[in-house]
Structure 1
Amino acid sequence: MIRRMEERDITPLAKLFLQGRRQTFHWVDPSLFHLDDFIEQTRGEEIWVAERGGTLCGFIAVWQPELFVHHLYVASDWHGQGIGRALLEHGLANNPRTASLKVATRNTAAVAFYHRLGWQHGNETGYCEITGPWCKLSRE
């Protein structure tokens, strides 16, 4: 089930976010990621939560003014079960605008995931002080 984030979800999502970032960005010093990053980095965003059997297994945070996927995380125990795809579809549903996101180029699993779903590389690239080089992807 995918639903809007509720107040009671903040703590478990913050833990999922922290663990997901530490696992995903394995080349980064884990002490650079903090539990309170979730609240700071998702402020003002629309957040949808994937829940299975009472367990929060993932979320998507979308900055709606630009239809920008800021965060998409699925707990590692739930990888490969279609949750990331479902969260993307739900978070971007019924919107005719082009969606975009930025992905760390060293995060090859995420780059491959987005390519499988039809996201295309744009011309925009950059460098994050924490995770390194990134590229912008978009989807019509």
Structure 2
Amino acid sequence: MIRPLETADIPECRDIFTDCLTDMPWRERHRGQHLALRRALETQPAWVAEEPNAGVIGFLTLQVPTDYVDHLFVDRDWRFCGVARGLLEVARIEATGALSLDVDSENMTARRAYEALGWQVVASTGGAGRARQMRLVGP
């Protein structure tokens, strides 16, 4: 089930986010990322994917009016089960234009998942000593 985020969901979203960061060893784990997540969860439209026996298994935040998905994270036990697809479908309904998001160029799992969903790379950023980001636009 996908539903709007409730305040009580924030700790579970934070746990999923923190766990997902361990899958990205190239990314610095500093407080700034957690503060950005907290701000997004408190101020932006957000949805959670919930499974009755497991609780919150994924979440998405959307910046409006730019239709930019700044957070999309799925619990590792629920990846490739359609959770991200469902969250993105809800965001598409709320968006006024095409969705966009950034993905770390080294995050091959996410890149493959977005590619399978029809997302296209439109730009790359970053440089020496910094994680490269790829901007994708949704179908």
So what's the TM-score if we normalise by structure 2?
A: 0.85
Q: Distance in 1 between matches of 2:65 and 2:128?
A: 25
DSSP-derived class of the 1:70 partner: strand
CA-based RMSD: 2.4
DSSP-derived class of the 1:12 partner: helix
Q: Distance in 1 between matches of 2:10 and 2:128?
A: 26
Q: Distance in 1 between matches of 2:97 and 2:129?
A: 30
Going from structure 1 to structure 2, the CA distance change for 1:35 and 1:134 (only over 3 Å counts) comes to closer
User: Contact 1:128–1:134 at 8 Å: present in 2 too?
Assistant: no
Q: Distance in 1 between matches of 2:128 and 2:50?
A: 32
Deviation at 1:27, TM superposition (A): 2.7
2:133 is aligned to 134
> Which residues of structure 1 form unaligned runs of 5+?
none
Going from structure 1 to structure 2, the CA distance change for 1:96 and 1:29 (only over 3 Å counts) comes to closer
What CA deviation, in whole Å up to 9, does each residue of 1:27-66 have, x standing for no partner?
Answer: 3354x35755530354532110000015100001111210
Aligned AA (2:43) = G
DSSP-derived class of the 1:118 partner: coil
DSSP-derived class of the 1:71 partner: strand
Q: Distance in 2 between matches of 1:69 and 1:44?
A: 14
User: Contact 2:61–2:69 at 8 Å: present in 1 too?
Assistant: yes
Q: Distance in 2 between matches of 1:40 and 1:128?
A: 27
- Any residues of structure 2 matched to 1:4-43 within 5 Å, and which? 4-23=4-23, 25-30=24-29, 32=30, 36-43=35-42
Aligned AA (2:99) = A
Q: Distance in 2 between matches of 1:70 and 1:130?
A: 22
User: Contact 1:58–1:84 at 8 Å: present in 2 too?
Assistant: yes
Aligned AA (1:61) = T
Instruction: Give the number of the structure whose residues are more often strand, by fraction.
Output: 1
So what's the TM-score if we normalise by structure 1?
A: 0.85
What is the number of residues matched between the two proteins? 137
- Any residues of structure 2 matched to 1:104-119 within 5 Å, and which? 104-119=104-119
Say whether 1:46 aligns with 2:15: no
Q: Distance in 2 between matches of 1:60 and 1:139?
A: 14
What CA deviation, in whole Å up to 9, does each residue of 1:112-138 have, x standing for no partner?
Answer: 11111111111x221289960011111
